[in-house]
Amino acid sequence: MDWSTTVRQIPHIYDTIFGALPMVDRLTVSAVCSQWNTAINHSRKLMQNLALRVLRTVNNKQEIIGIEEVENSQRLYNKLLIAPNAEERIDWEDLSTVLQRLNNRCPIRWVKIDGSRNILATSPLALMGFGQIFSNLQHLELNCRSMTYVLDSRTVDSFSNFPQLKRLVLFEGHGGMLKSVQRHCRHLRKLVLIKFVLTKPLRELLNFPELTELVIDMLDVYVDPRIVGEPQQGPRSALALPKLTEMTVLLNGSLREDVATNMLQMTLAAPSLKIGRMTEVISDHVRIEAGAKAKFYRSGREALLMANCQSEFTAE
């Protein structure tokens, strides 16, 4: 019997039954028989929270997943995790070949790149290369190191190959990287910045006309003497985010008044805003023009649950 034909006839039934199981259990029961294997591994709904770990540790050595395994697998992955170790030397050409094969089999729409141990993974050249491969990418998570490549002249082009990106989660990034995002990712709808280092005034980095959700947690400020000095004079700079419905901006620590004024002060026009959460120093310097139904909360970091910022997925 052709199980793949049977599954195609009643896919909603399998999705309903196996959808009640946690992802780990779905992987277990997929080994029971050919019918269940096909039903689970060929269902985008059932596999949507499964990410393929492209770099695996075998005998204490990190290796790239084999092309044969990619070609022979029944699973159509559209989520990938790329996390190179610090002590391992990665053949980036071989890695690119495997990533291209995976993308050809099933367009990759979700990628997490962990460069916390190996900064080359989130370098401008690496990001430009990933962008050329993942032409359909919708969601990108980057775990960087603070101030990584802040002085690299190529940083401005880091996101030049991600014009279709809709959601970005950036851990320990800086203003130079976000400037590249602003230039090239004009359709961004959700932006999450964790432990972000502000190297440029905030008003210069958030011009995203399609943005609906903004989260900035543990914001830190890099004091650049070329920027910080006398406080701004005259009217506040204005920024319009017409589609923004929810925003959270929480500062890590405190700031001198002149630093806060120059780096944070602005007027934000957000007519669609429903909820705004801000620490006191942010609300003192960011004037928000919103509708009458908008609700605002001034509090500490407890206003934001970190779990809401990170994707839930199972890496295999």
Task: Enumerate the domain spans of the chain.
Answer: 1-46, 47-315
CB 42 within 8 A of CB 7: yes
Q: What percent of the chain has pLDDT over 90?
A: 36
CB 213 within 8 A of CB 191: yes
Decide: pTM greater than 0.85. Answer: no
Instruction: Look at residue 228 in the predicted model and tell me its pLDDT.
Output: 41
In whole numbers, what is the pLDDT of the chain averaged over residues? 81
Integer Cα distance of 267 and 199 in angstroms: 19
Distance of CA 279 to the CA centre of its chain: 23
Q: Which pLDDT tens digit goes with each residue over 29-38?
A: 766 777 777 7
CB 86 within 8 A of CB 55: no
Determine whether 300 is exposed, middle or buried from the number of CB atoms within 10 Å of its CB (0-12, 13-18, 19+): exposed
Integer Cα distance of 63 and 19 in angstroms: 32
Q: Tell whether the torsion through CA atoms of 232, 290, 298 and 253 is positive or negative.
A: negative
Tokens coding 142: 């980057």
Q: Which pLDDT tens digit goes with each residue over 119-175?
A: 889 999 999 999 999 999 999 999 987 666 666 788 999 999 999 999 999 998 888
Tokens coding 179: 């400037």
Q: How confident is the model at residue 307 (pLDDT cuts 50, 70, 90)?
A: very low
